[in-house]
Structure formats: C-alpha cells, structure tokens
Amino acid sequence: MNWNTKKVGNTFLIEIEGEIMGGAEADDFKDIIFKSIEDDIVDIIVDMKKATWMNSSGLGMLISGLTTLRSSGGDLRLANVSERVRRPLEITKLDTVFSIYESVEEAIQSY
C-alpha cells in the first residue's frame, strides 16, 4: 500500500493506493493520524479511489484511526470506495459506522 497526504482546507486527505492489508503499514497510518492531531487537524478523509483490496487487518487499521480521531473531537470519512473494497465494510456492518462519500469533494463539504 502506498499513500499521498495533503492538507485541504481544515481537513487532511490521505490518498491510498493498492491493497489495504494492515501489518507494518498500520503503524505508518497511525503515525499520520497522530501527526495530524498534533497539527490540530482532526478531520481526515481517506480517498480509496486507487485501493484495490482490503482485508480484516486493513479494516482494523481504519477503525483504529476512526476511534483515535473521534476521541480527539474529529472524524475519519471515506471517499471513492469501490465495490471490491466496500464489500468487507458491508459484511462487517462497518458501512454503518463510517461516513462514506462518492467523492472527496462531497466528503470535504460534509465537514
């Protein structure tokens, strides 16, 4: 998994590319979340347009980020979730926990 990050207004955008598998990448993801909180940006959007797959460890990585941000008064929202990546969210009912948007623009406007 690779990602690019950038600040967009009062939000932080994480663009994910490839397979979301957790593991060592989960630590890097947590570091991004903590750095964002340190910079007083607690609203994050994860753009999953280029994500190709997600397993349960990847789900855990996203849940960890969500709970960390919510405990800091923020939120983690998902955008551009493909059917293949959305399926694990639906099976685990996490699609009712995360706010999911069709585009990054919609996610930004939701804050």
**Tens digits of residue pLDDT in 26-58:** 899 999 999 999 999 999 999 999 999 999 999
**Tens digits of residue pLDDT in 77-97:** 999 999 989 999 999 999 999
pLDDT score at 97: 96
Predicted confidence (pLDDT) at residue 103 exceeds the cutoff of 90: yes
The arithmetic mean of pLDDT across residues 97-108, rounded, is 96
Predicted confidence (pLDDT) at residue 98 exceeds the cutoff of 90: yes
Domain count of the fold of the chain: 1
The boundaries of the domain holding residue 89 are 2-110
DSSP assignment of the chain equals: -EEEEEEETTEEEEEEEEEE--THHHHHHHHHHHHHHHTT--EEEEEEEEEEEE-HHHHHHHHHHHHHHHHTT-EEEEES--HHHHHHHHHTTGGGTSEEESSHHHHHHH-
Task: Give the residue among 38, 100, 28 at the shortest CA–CA distance from 69.
Answer: 38
Q: CATH number, domain at 49?
A: 3.30.750.24
Long-range contacts of 90-94 (CB under 8 A, 24+ apart): 92/56, 92/59, 94/59, 94/62, 94/63
Strand pairing category for 43-54 and 11-20: parallel
pLDDT score at 58: 92
pLDDT score at 73: 96
